[in-house]
């Protein structure tokens, strides 16, 4: 209700309006929706880390490339980004497989620290290729349903966010099923646990590495298709997500799939609430403060197995 | 060796003398275009942010400037320079001040006679400063921050109005509007982008609105680009102000208005000061529901000037939108061409003098003849508009208002 003190509203009334439960709930729900997409990007990153034990610096550049792909598939073929995801996910799986099998793997010469530099080099190459091809322009697409809303209690949630939320959980479930029940899933888990033993048991480790990298890249392609209806794309747009994804991976525990999911949702809510209370620019700061705190006090993360 | 002492051969000298004589005669007799084409073209820098976050506005500005150049060239070029054609040197500031600087350096090296454009305040500030180092005349097309013309730069001229004038007009008219409606509005939330333009305006509003009886509940800054206004819309919803005053560029303005519509945030009025999209035909056409009833205090063409209406038709026939960037740049280019004519050459200091003494009335804005004091055109002033039924109407000043304001907004 409106209260007026003299000419206008008192400071206390203004503060209490900021903490009204309906608004708070809306901010939390918004955060969960954004967090789901963060979680998907982090899922790809943590999967690659968990199996290959490398930090993939090219993750952000691959996300940007996938966003460009989703953008141009819509612009040139008129294909809805959600439909495009069905084609882009396998395509980017192949891209990821090829990158690991023919570039990153051979270039590493068996040294993990080489891989770090190779992925960093890939990131720079991809980003600059995109910059050269498409310029620094920020592009967006307009979809008829982009501003449709669904009422959830007092909150009005945008349709693309709800779709993203559901798809992320479907992808996570699918990934879990693959890892649990399929031969390749078992092979991936075996390589992650004990590389030498797996190799002795006859598992083709190079193939498993490449499949894992492909799966991580496919996650990024799906995330791009979920983002493009409500976000913009330019040659650097992926970076914002990957910095956050690194935080999530550290928070959830390196290599942990449930950690990535829960960490993603948590970071989304923290960002939304601090953005709401502290302002848009400080919203991101709180994420990185959290990153440092986790590294200081719980370096193996919430769900991490190893120190 | 002797050749070096005679840089111009006898034949060349003869040719140029004959040509010179011909040009003089041609000028006097208004001779056919064949002869005129032989005068060296005059290069002019046309600087806009055509890529990056401000690309839409930059592209619109470029359309206006090049259209004026095409018209001048078609009509026989610059008469005082023997019918010399204007050759635009297009520059892309990439939506950053550094980008603008780099382009001005290039333009200077290429020997342009003057630079027109900049669009964003931050780009205009740095680009004109760079131009000043080379005594290169610089006409600011839009940039409204007052410090653009208070730095004592002799080369910099602003054709349009600055913040001070715009804010005063906007606030005076807001008070009139509110009084006429029986003072329904008391509380305000300001949403502004965080560079020179938005922050400067927010600061000004924060001192001036309380003096006029309004209470500011909150001032919300955001970066450009921003792709999510959900938190901002929630904040506005929580504060439930009577008025929302947005000060941001096109993309963010549209997104904010659409998010407010989506989140069903309905204040009594959305009143912008230099709203990036509030008086844009593009916004009104594409997102009519979000744009309806939005009021703005902004640059606007003179609706009683037949030249302005002819230009509107010409732009719309090309399937472009007649936005303020178009007619501001069109006018600035005509203003510059007039100054070069009076300077009778491309000498930079003479063009600066000609601009300083300019009394140019051939533009399409409701400013009257130009009169520059310390680089600022004294007649420049904004008008108030409102989006009503798929069109943009002028609501203030009364002298050429085309509709009565609808305030408070009717509840949907």
pLDDT in tens, A71-109: 999 999 999 999 999 999 999 999 999 999 999 989 888
Give the model's pLDDT for residue B3. 43
CB-CB neighbors (< 8 A) of B222 in chain A: 280-281
Please tell me the distance from the alpha carbon of residue B242 to that of residue B236, in angstroms, as a whole number.
10
Give the model's pLDDT for residue B15. 55
Give the model's pLDDT for residue A8. 55
pLDDT in tens, B291-313: 999 999 999 999 889 999 999 99
Q: What angle do CA A218, A219, A225 make, to 5 degrees?
A: 90
C-alpha gyration radius of chain A: 21
The answer to whether the CB atoms of B228 and A230 lie below 8 A apart is: yes
Give the model's pLDDT for residue B27. 45
Please tell me the distance from the alpha carbon of residue A223 to that of residue A230, in angstroms, as a whole number.
12
Determine contact: A180 vs chain B, CB below 8 A.
no
CB-CB neighbors (< 8 A) of B59 in chain A: none
Distance from CA of B195 to the nearest CA of A (A): 13
pLDDT in tens, B67-103: 999 999 999 999 999 999 999 999 999 999 999 999 9
E strand spans, B200-321: 215-222, 243-247, 269-273, 295-298
Give the model's pLDDT for residue A146. 82
Please state the three-class secondary structure of A185-247 as a single string.
HHHHHHHHHCHHHHHHCCCCHHHHHHHHHHHHHHHHHHHHHHHCCCCCECCCHHHHHHHHHHH
Per the prediction, chain B carries an average pLDDT of 89
Q: What is the mean pLDDT of each run of 10 residues along chain A (307 residues)?
A: 48 71 88 93 92 90 96 94 95 96 87 84 92 81 85 86 94 92 94 92 94 96 94 85 89 86 93 84 80 86 66
Please tell me the distance from the alpha carbon of residue A256 to that of residue B126, in angstroms, as a whole number.
49
Please tell me the distance from the alpha carbon of residue A302 to that of residue A221, in angstroms, as a whole number.
27
The answer to whether the CB atoms of B186 and A18 lie below 8 A apart is: no
Please tell me the distance from the alpha carbon of residue A277 to that of residue A153, in angstroms, as a whole number.
22
Q: What are phi and psi of A234, to 5 degrees?
A: -145, 170
Local confidence band at B373 (pLDDT 50, 70, 90 cut-offs): very high
Substitution target from B219, B230, B248, B252 for chain A, most A beta carbons within 10 A: B230
C-alpha gyration radius of chain B: 23
**Percent of chain B topping pLDDT 90:** 73
Contacts of B378 (CB under 8 A, 6+ apart): B371, B372
Local confidence band at B38 (pLDDT 50, 70, 90 cut-offs): low
Determine contact: A29 vs chain B, CB below 8 A.
no
Residue B40 DSSP symbol? P
Please tell me the distance from the alpha carbon of residue B295 to that of residue B278, in angstroms, as a whole number.
7
Give the model's pLDDT for residue B344. 94
Tell which residue, A51, A91, A34, has the closest CA to residue A241: A34
Residue A104 DSSP symbol? I
E strand spans, A144-191: 149-152, 155-158
- Which pTM was predicted? 0.78
CB-CB neighbors (< 8 A) of A23 in chain B: 234, 237-238
Please tell me the distance from the alpha carbon of residue A70 to that of residue A94, in angstroms, as a whole number.
16
Give the model's pLDDT for residue B1. 36
pLDDT in tens, B260-291: 998 899 999 999 998 878 888 989 988 888 99
Give the model's pLDDT for residue A303. 79
Mean pLDDT over residues B54-77, rounded? 94
How many other C-beta atoms can be found within 10 angstroms of the C-beta atom of residue A271? 23
Question: Which of A34, A136, A156 is closest, CB to CB, to B263?
Answer: A156
Contacts of B376 (CB under 8 A, 6+ apart): B149, B157, B158, B162
Local confidence band at B412 (pLDDT 50, 70, 90 cut-offs): low
Mean pLDDT over residues B215-243, rounded? 90
Distance from CA of B300 to the nearest CA of A (A): 28
Strand pairing category for B243-247 and B187-193: parallel
Mean pLDDT over residues B161-177, rounded? 93
Contacts of B320 (CB under 8 A, 6+ apart): B60, B63, B326
């Amino acid at each position: 209700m409106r209260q007026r003190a003299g000419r206008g509203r008192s400071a206390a009334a203004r503060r209490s309006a900021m903490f009204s439960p309906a608004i708070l709930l809306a901010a939390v729900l918004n955060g969960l929706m954004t967090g789901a997409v963060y979680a998907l990007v982090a899922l790809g990153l943590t999967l690659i880390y968990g199996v290959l034990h490398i930090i993939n610096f090219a993750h952000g550049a691959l996300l940007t490339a996938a966003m460009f792909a989703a953008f141009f598939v819509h612009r040139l073929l008129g294909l809805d980004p959600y439909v495009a995801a069905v084609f882009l996910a396998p395509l980017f799986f192949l891209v990821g497989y090829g990158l690991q099998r023919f570039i990153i793997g051979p270039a590493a010469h068996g040294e993990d620290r080489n891989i770090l530099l190779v992925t960093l080099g890939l990131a720079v190459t991809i980003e600059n290729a995109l910059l050269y091809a498409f310029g620094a322009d920020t592009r967006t697409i307009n979809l008829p349903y982009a501003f449709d809303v669904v009422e959830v209690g007092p909150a009005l949630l945008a349709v693309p966010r709800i779709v993203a939320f559901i798809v992320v959980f479907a992808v996570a479930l699918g990934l879990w099923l693959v890892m649990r029940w399929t031969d390749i899933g078992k092979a991936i888990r075996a390589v992650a646990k004990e590389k030498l033993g797996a190799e002795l048991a006859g598992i083709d480790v190079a193939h498993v590495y490449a499949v894992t990298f492909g799966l991580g890249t496919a996650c990024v392609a799906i995330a791009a298709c979920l983002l493009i209806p409500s976000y913009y794309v330019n040659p650097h747009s992926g970076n914002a997500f990957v910095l956050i994804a690194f935080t999530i991976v550290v928070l959830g525990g390196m290599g942990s799939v449930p950690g990535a999911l829960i960490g993603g949702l948590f970071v989304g809510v923290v960002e939304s609430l601090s953005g709401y209370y502290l302002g848009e620019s400080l919203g991101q700061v709180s994420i990185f403060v959290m990153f440092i705190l986790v590294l200081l006090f719980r370096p193996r993360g919430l769900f991490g197995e190893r120190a | 060796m002797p050749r070096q002492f005679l840089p111009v051969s006898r034949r060349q000298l003869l040719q140029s003398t004959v040509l010179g004589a011909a040009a003089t005669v041609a000028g006097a007799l208004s001779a056919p275009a064949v002869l005129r084409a032989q005068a060296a073209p005059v290069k002019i820098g046309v600087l806009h942010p055509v890529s990056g976050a401000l690309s839409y506005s930059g592209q619109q500005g470029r359309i206006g400037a090049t259209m004026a150049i095409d018209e001048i060239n078609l009509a026989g070029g610059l008469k005082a320079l023997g019918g010399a054609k204007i050759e635009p040197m297009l520059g892309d500031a990439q939506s950053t001040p550094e980008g603008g600087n780099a382009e001005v350096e290039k333009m200077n090296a290429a020997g342009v006679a003057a630079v027109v454009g900049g669009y964003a305040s931050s780009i205009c500030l740095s680009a004109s400063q760079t131009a000043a180092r080379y005594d290169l005349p610089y006409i600011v097309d839009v940039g409204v921050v007052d410090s653009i013309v208070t730095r004592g730069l002799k080369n910099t001229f602003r054709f349009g109005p600055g913040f001070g004038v715009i804010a005063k007009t906007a606030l005076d008219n807001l008070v009139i509007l509110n009084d006429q409606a029986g003072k329904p509005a008391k509380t305000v939330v300001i949403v502004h982008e965080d560079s020179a333009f938005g922050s400067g305006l927010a600061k000004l509003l924060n001192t001036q609105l309380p003096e006029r009886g309004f209470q500011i509940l909150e001032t919300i800054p955001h970066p450009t680009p921003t792709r999510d206004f959900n938190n901002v819309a929630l904040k506005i919803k929580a504060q439930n102000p009577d008025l929302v005053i947005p000060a941001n560029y096109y993309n963010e303005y549209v997104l904010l208005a659409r998010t407010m519509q989506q989140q069903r945030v309905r204040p009594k009025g959305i009143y912008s000061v230099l709203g990036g999209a509030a008086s844009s035909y593009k916004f009104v056409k594409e997102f009519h529901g979000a744009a309806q009833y939005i009021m703005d205090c902004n640059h606007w063409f003179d609706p009683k000037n037949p030249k302005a209406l002819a230009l509107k038709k010409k732009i719309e026939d090309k399937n472009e939108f007649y936005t303020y960037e178009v007619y501001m740049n069109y006018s600035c280019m005509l203003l510059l061409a007039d100054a070069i004519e009076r300077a009778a050459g491309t000498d930079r200091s003479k063009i600066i003098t000609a601009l300083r003494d300019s009394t140019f009335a051939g533009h399409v804005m409701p400013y009257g003849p130009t009169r520059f004091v310390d680089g600022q055109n004294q007649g420049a002033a904004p008008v108030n508009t409102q989006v009503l039924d798929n069109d943009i109407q002028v609501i203030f000043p009364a002298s050429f208002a085309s509709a009565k304001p609808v305030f408070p907004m009717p509840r949907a």
